[in-house]
Amino acid sequence: MTRTVERTELELPDGRTLGIHDTGGAGDVVLWHGGTPNTGEPPAPWRETDTRWIGVDRPGFGRSPRLPGRRVADVAADVRAVLDHLGVETCRSVGHSGGGSHALACAALLPERTTSALSISGLAPFSGADWFEGMGPHSRASLGRATGGRRAKEQFEAAGGSGGVDFTDDDWATLEGPWGWFGTVVAEATADGRGGVVDDDVAHVNPWGFDPAAITVPVTLVHGEADRVVPLAHARRLAALIPGADLVTVPGAGHLSVLEEISR
């Protein structure tokens, strides 16, 4: 049976509020970083174990107000505040898609609180035109517009964005099963608009605020070989940057279907 999630809010000293999702429990703690756009709600298909899952709504998603201009690195301070608030000493940092980079930020900037990191279908730091190679047209258009800055990206989203997503047939099939859970968290994440999408994408094509090469905790990178939302080349670049990173490629898997594959 999928465990329920308690939702609370934490007011930070700067006046911002963070939405927190927590399954509770006495098991190992996993800190979940949802993709773009997701809330911090931990994946329903993975909540059947004794693991304690904690997630935080990134600014602009769910119950966390927007913070324009945020960097990927800024997640670390928010996570530290949440872990302190919940009395959690250490955790594993796990992220999917746009959350992968944020999982790595915690590994780099909170090594005393992060025992390991797992990035699934995650982006590599921006490197120019070659960064887009292998991306489908929708991802290329959306992230490409973010390189023009926040205003350009806001105008792009206000006009309807790219009009689609570069999922494979297997990705769409994945959404017909338990991972249809994504529909709920995406809807909640964007209920107040797509400001979080704007800020996530702009953060990804600008300096992240930390060096992946400085990560000292164990890192695993998992990526589907057929992913066209974030192509496999991104995982290979991360593996080359992060000392000792373990790269696991999944033949035939796409951006979402990789989650189903590694659950088996």
For residue 3, the model assigns a pLDDT of 83
Q: Output the six-digit token pair for 111.
A: 């090594």
For residue 182, the model assigns a pLDDT of 98
Q: How many CA atoms lie within 13 A of 54 on its CB side?
A: 29
For residue 50, the model assigns a pLDDT of 85
What average pLDDT does range 212-227 have in this prediction? 98
Say yes or no to pLDDT of 27 above 90: no
Q: What is the pLDDT of residues 64-87, one digit of tens each?
A: 999 989 999 999 999 999 999 999
Q: Give the chain's domains with CATH numbers.
A: 6-263 (3.40.50.1820)
What average pLDDT does range 15-40 have in this prediction? 96
Q: By the 8 A CB rule, do 171 and 254 touch? A: yes
Q: What is the pLDDT of residues 112-169, one digit of tens each?
A: 999 999 999 999 999 999 999 999 999 999 999 999 999 999 999 999 999 999 999 9
- Provide CB contacts within 8 A for 205, sequence distance 6+: 126, 131, 143, 146, 147
Rounded to 5 degrees, φ, ψ at 119 are: -115, 120
For residue 43, the model assigns a pLDDT of 97
Work out the pLDDT band at 254, boundaries 50, 70, 90: very high
Say yes or no to pLDDT of 1 above 70: no
In angstroms, the CA 239 to CA 244 distance is 8
The radius of gyration computed from the CA coordinates of the chain, to the nearest angstrom, equals: 17
In angstroms, the CA 4 to CA 59 distance is 23
For residue 108, the model assigns a pLDDT of 98
Say yes or no to pLDDT of 35 above 90: yes
